[in-house]
Amino acid sequence: MWKTLHQLAAPPRLYQICGRLVPWLAAAGIIVLATGWVRGFGFAPADYQQGEGYRIMYLHVPAAIWSMGIYAAMAVAAFTGLVWQMKMASLAVAAMAPVGAVYTFIALVTGAAWGKPMWGTWWVWDARLTSELVLLFLYAGVIALWHAFDDRKMAGRAAGILVLVGVVNLPVIHYSVEWWNTLHQGSTRMQQSIDPA
């Protein structure tokens, strides 16, 4: 098994596999994304309290989930790169950072757009909002560190260390609404039933 994984991690083999899979995965992703947007923005009924404004959650919540998920994947890749000295792991960190930064930015902007009519303000220094902003700064720091060094090995190590230090922010983002009294609502996607109140 390790031999197969090691062969798949070799750049020529990985590029060959990705070259074949990317067009198919991109097409599938576009179809799923378009279907979700059409169903969410076009066919979902209006919320009884928030009206049509709640539809932005169909963009905000997935972007926030992906912003944290990509950072968690970066932490795994950074750990792999630092411990086992795999070059592809550092390249994966560098490739994931801009994508994660975009998702984090989308989550922050759509959250602000939703917050203005619902909370009456674009931004509050709420624990979850602030920790998500810190995540955007961490992504920016990883991108900056990757481009700050000419030596790719040194850049990979520096970016990997920052990713591993910053991974402590993920539980803060996720549990901040439970740990502190915040304006941001808690997670509702894991609830088993609708609250009768």
DSSP string, 90-138: HHHHHHHHHHHHHHHHHHHHHHHHHHHHHHSSS----HHHHHHHHHHHH
Q: Are residues 86 and 157 in the same domain?
A: yes
Residue 107 lies in a domain: yes
Q: Give the residue numbers spanning the domain of 27.
A: 1-44
Residue 141 lies in a domain: yes
Q: How confident is the model at residue 7 (pLDDT cuts 50, 70, 90)?
A: confident
Q: Are residues 64 and 158 in the same domain?
A: yes
Residue 188 lies in a domain: no
The reported pLDDT for the residue numbered 71 is 98
Q: How confident is the model at residue 24 (pLDDT cuts 50, 70, 90)?
A: very high
